[in-house]
Chain A
Amino acid sequence: MAKVKMTVNGRHVGAECEDRTLLVHFLRENLALTGTHVGCDTTQCGACVVHMDGRSVKSCTILAAQAAGSTILTIEGISNGGELHPVQAAFKANHGLQCGFCTPGMVMTAIDMIRRHGANLDEATVRAELDGNICRCTGYHNIVKSILAAAAEMGGVKQAAE
């Protein structure tokens, strides 16, 4: 057993867990942050994507102990109170989900993608960047549309601020 401490969504947290505990289970079971999902158990589906020290990672393939001391951002940490994050708003406006199971991972992936590419994202890049996220409902079309809309919105906001 190890005492694992990290910063999750801006809050310092700590809990006892086994060394083999995966980060996703630590988030869900020790911290009750169940927005991060487990979809496949084989490191392929991306439903478990969170940000670790600013980069998107698969929380089902990282031990909680490996993440000790890091800064984690999950789907629960992105909205501003009652106001949706622009990526969440774009998924809502563009019907970027059906059953919603993959959506937390899709949203966290989209935020990371927009951070790296800004408003320059095009459809081919979005589709290539979604390599690590599987959706079994939508056929991806509206997910791609949502991400492009969010990138335009967030890029526009950034330019207006400059």
Chain B
Amino acid sequence: MYATNYHRASSVQDAVRMRSAADESKYLAGGMTLIATMKQRLAAPSDLVDLRHIPSLRGISVDGTSVRIGAATTHYDVASSTELKAACPAICDLAHGIGDPHVRHMGTIGGSVANNDPAADYPAALLALDAVIVTNTREIKAGDFFTGLFETALQDAEMIVAVTFDAPAKAAYAKFRNPASRYAMTGVFVARRDNGDVRVSVTGAGADGVFRHPGMEAALSANWSPDSLAGVSVDPSDLMSDIHASAEYRANLVKVMAKRAVAAA
């Protein structure tokens, strides 16, 4: 790892000030991606601003169907929240499937969302849940937030403070895990509202990151059943090909995972 300067912030204001004071600085949440990347010398921030000790960034609140998850809330805390399990069990299941137990004890929802790894799990959930990403300066709809591979709408020094969403009537996440990395080789999150609106979002497969699939959404809006997806086609030309899976294989996985998710919702 290259040399870096560590700073510990005690408030959001404090963090933004520290981050703005250095050109090559980065926010450090759980560090489960950032520290690992720095160890490989693939990232070399001059300064790190630790967000783990800002109390207002942690915690989950549920009021009816209205959910707010603080950005520094760990995957373990999301997975094991009884309140959240009652309102939206799908997001607890998703958090329980990230990485391994030790990673879940450190990794945070805000860190995952800000990094926008094309194979991360949370972006699929936030897109399908029509979530809002709350930053220190504004609120951004998930549909406008995830802009490409490791790219988001966040400005320099802007930081995520929470994500909010309205819990749907039904939802589930199905993931085909890479057996070595635990990242999604394809993950599909489905959500259905009381008014019949359906959102289907896919992670781990898109060449440009997380995306919604309008064909599957239309089919499931008409008939909420795994069988209704049989006739829907998934175009492999927009999907990733790598050593783990070809685009054609991923196109098939998208359908299989979507069916599993609908069956589980």
Contact = CB atoms under 8 A, between A and B. Distances in A.
Given A42-B36, A131-B182, A58 B103 contact: yes
Given A18-B3, A19-B3, A131-B182, A63 B35 contact: yes
A19 B5 contact: yes
Interface string B1-42: 111111010000000000000000000100110011011100
Interface stretch (B84-92, B94-102, B193-201): B94-102
Interface string A109-151: 1001100000000000000010111000000000000000000
A56 B32 CA distance: 13
Interface residues of B, number: 28
A55 B100 CA distance: 13
Main secondary structure on A side of the interface with B: mixed
B102 A19 contact: no
A61 B35 contact: yes
B106 interface: yes
A79 interface: no
A49 B100 CA distance: 12
A132 B100 contact: yes
A58 B36 CA distance: 11
A37 to B, nearest CB: 14
A110 to B, nearest CB: 11
Given A19-B3, A62-B31, A65-B6, A56 B50 contact: no
B1 A61 contact: no
A2 B3 CA distance: 12
Contact of A20 (B2, B40, B52, B182): B2
Contacts of A57: 102, 105-106
Q: How large is the interface on A (under 10, 10 to 19, 20 to 34, 35 or more residues)?
A: 20 to 34
Contact of B100 (A20, A42, A46, A60): A46
A49 B103 CA distance: 11
Contacts of B106: 57-58, 61-62
Interface string B32-59: 1001101110000000101010000000
Interface in A45-69: 46, 49, 52, 55-58, 60-63, 65-66, 68
Contacts of A68: 8
Contacts of B100: 46, 131-133
A43, A49, A65, A129 — which one has the most chain B CB atoms within 10 A of its CB? A43
A132 B101 contact: yes
B146 interface: no
Contact of B32 (A22, A61, A133): A61
Nearest to B106: A57
A41, A44, A66, A133 — which one has the most chain B CB atoms within 10 A of its CB? A66
B122 interface: no
B173 interface: no
Nearest to B181: A44
A44 B182 CA distance: 10
Contacts of B4: 19-20
Interface in B102-116: 102-103, 105-106
A20 B1 contact: yes
Contacts of B189: none
B10 to A, nearest CB: 12
B76 interface: yes
15 contacts: A41-B39, A42-B39, A44-B180, A46-B102, A55-B105, A57-B105, A61-B106, A63-B31, A63-B35, A65-B8, A66-B6, A109-B102, A113-B101, A131-B99, A132-B102
Interface of A: 2, 18-20, 22, 41-44, 46, 49, 52, 55-58, 60-63, 65-66, 68, 109, 112-113, 129, 131-133
Among all A-B residue pairs, the 6 with the closest Cβ atoms: A132-B100, A131-B100, A19-B6, A65-B6, A55-B105, A43-B36
